[in-house]
Structure 1
């Protein structure tokens, strides 16, 4: 006797097994790009130094001779916007200008090979505010790969920037309840006025929050929020907080303060944080 339900059941089972097999199959791995870049910041101002890390990869089955990493700007030539300070991991040829591009020489690169350089670039003092796309490429004497688009770079008007600098000082106090007093100093290097400034300090485990002036503990965490409403160019403000270590405090304790917010944009991330390490030899002796 013909039983159509049996055929339907078998077909359904086969379909289910196929679906399960597809689900278990490993996902296809993304191909390694022939050139990739990572920038330290996408907003810069004239006179500022920043870095671009570029990695090239030879996905051909032959050696690319005199392999180079190239960077461009579009629509503005990168050679009109920045100067090269240095590039790392290159041959004696180093980095050089080639037409409207900069290139870092690596020498011959075998099939499957990878090379990385860190460009240190300085925005020209004459660079006009605006935007350009950072483009990059792996190019050799016997083969050139596609030019790829990287991030959009913004050259900001310095007058609309406020460089906020963070400092951190500490004083230790020994005793039955060892204490460390921290002072957070926020300075506006300008050129514009700064507002909405927040610095988050994180103290080490083993310490407990005691009090603050201009700073407040964030819930039950080890983070302390220190806020400054506004700062004129060249002005500074301080905020303070204290932590306890107790009589049994022992070892080193590192606290770090980091700017997490301010307006307008901060063009210099290098001075946005500060750390301080204190040491306790039992709670009776605390030095910072």
Structure 2
């Protein structure tokens, strides 16, 4: 005897809340599948360069910062030269100094310099700097500074700024002028000194240091900001002086009851960058003669 066939049950598309739940589940599964297939993002650092125009024989500094996205073993910040006929970065630059490193900074042959950072934990921030000197024989040209947070397994490389190498030395002519004026009288007599430092250009001057030499054993007082005093010496430092600009510092040299006779002081530029092409105006002198605490003259 034949059994009656089971009645077929037609498929009905879910409606209302059931349909919404079905679509949400499909969307979540799709997202999960996409996330499973895509590789984790690479950690890319950021950089800042002291100058994008560098003369052959001079230096430039690269500052870098970043945060490791995941634990990184044997990490390091690498630098390369891209889009250039100058060759690899290690071929025309050398390491002058570096910071932030956990081991000596090195040149990777046919690539460029590396700042070792050691093992980084996930979420750990890092940073440092490296100063490179361009070989004096480097021809004029340009290169794209490329950089990379390296770790075992490799990382993504990013393009930084384009740097131009010139064969024209950058120069800043620093002119030093020292003058003195007596401030005499019975109450606290002193010689008042004015130290003028002017940059004749053509480039901006940085890291300028001017040292004033005083009579042996004499100590200056009332110094301007940026100046320090030691027996027989005043040192004034300036972070930067733009081309065509200048700065003025002052200090005093007290006059005692027995401080009679000549008082000679000399101010000299002792350091600055870039090169100073005119040493003739790097030094200035001021000569005074003290006759009494109430009488002195200065030339």
- Tell me the TM-score normalized by structure 2: 0.50
Equivalent residue, structure 2, for 1:261: 243
Match of 2:112 among 83, 93, 101: 101
* Offset from partner CA, 1:54-102 (integer Å, 9 cap, x none): 2232123xx1100010111112321233111232232235333243122
2:47 paired with 1:37: yes
Deviation at 1:140, TM superposition (A): 0.2
* Offset from partner CA, 1:122-166 (integer Å, 9 cap, x none): 10112111211111110101341x21121221111226x444234
In 1: Cα distance, 2:115 partner to 2:184 partner? 59
In 2: Cα distance, 1:66 partner to 1:273 partner? 48
Deviation at 1:256, TM superposition (A): 7.6
CA contact (8 A) 1:259 1:273 kept: yes
CA contact (8 A) 1:58 1:109 kept: yes
CA contact (8 A) 1:90 1:106 kept: yes
In 2: Cα distance, 1:256 partner to 1:91 partner? 31
* Offset from partner CA, 1:175-200 (integer Å, 9 cap, x none): 4798544444657xxxxxx67x999x
Q: Secondary structure at the match of 1:90?
A: coil
Deviation at 1:39, TM superposition (A): 1.7
Q: Secondary structure at the match of 1:153?
A: strand
Match of 1:173 among 182, 205, 212: 182
Q: Secondary structure at the match of 2:222?
A: strand
* Offset from partner CA, 1:11-61 (integer Å, 9 cap, x none): xxxxxxxxxxxxxxxxxxxxxx7311122222111111221112232123x
Pairs within 5 Å for 1:216-235: none
Match of 2:165 among 148, 155, 170: 155
In 1: Cα distance, 2:130 partner to 2:64 partner? 8
Relative to structure 1, the CA distance from residue 274 to residue 96 in structure 2 (aligned partners, 3 Å threshold; closer, same or farther) is farther
Deviation at 1:277, TM superposition (A): 4.6
User: Which structure has the larger Rg over C-alpha atoms?
Assistant: 2
Deviation at 1:260, TM superposition (A): 2.0
Relative to structure 1, the CA distance from residue 174 to residue 198 in structure 2 (aligned partners, 3 Å threshold; closer, same or farther) is farther
2:43 paired with 1:70: no
RMSD: 3.8
Equivalenced residues, count: 185
CA contact (8 A) 2:193 2:250 kept: no
Equivalent residue, structure 1, for 2:232: none
In structure 1, runs of 5+ residues without a counterpart are 1-32, 188-193, 200-249, 263-271
CA contact (8 A) 1:167 1:273 kept: no
Pairs within 5 Å for 1:1-288: 34-60=44-70, 63-76=71-84, 77-144=88-155, 146-158=156-168, 161-175=170-184, 180-184=193-197, 251-253=222-224, 259-261=241-243, 276-279=249-252
Deviation at 1:170, TM superposition (A): 4.6
In 2: Cα distance, 1:104 partner to 1:119 partner? 8
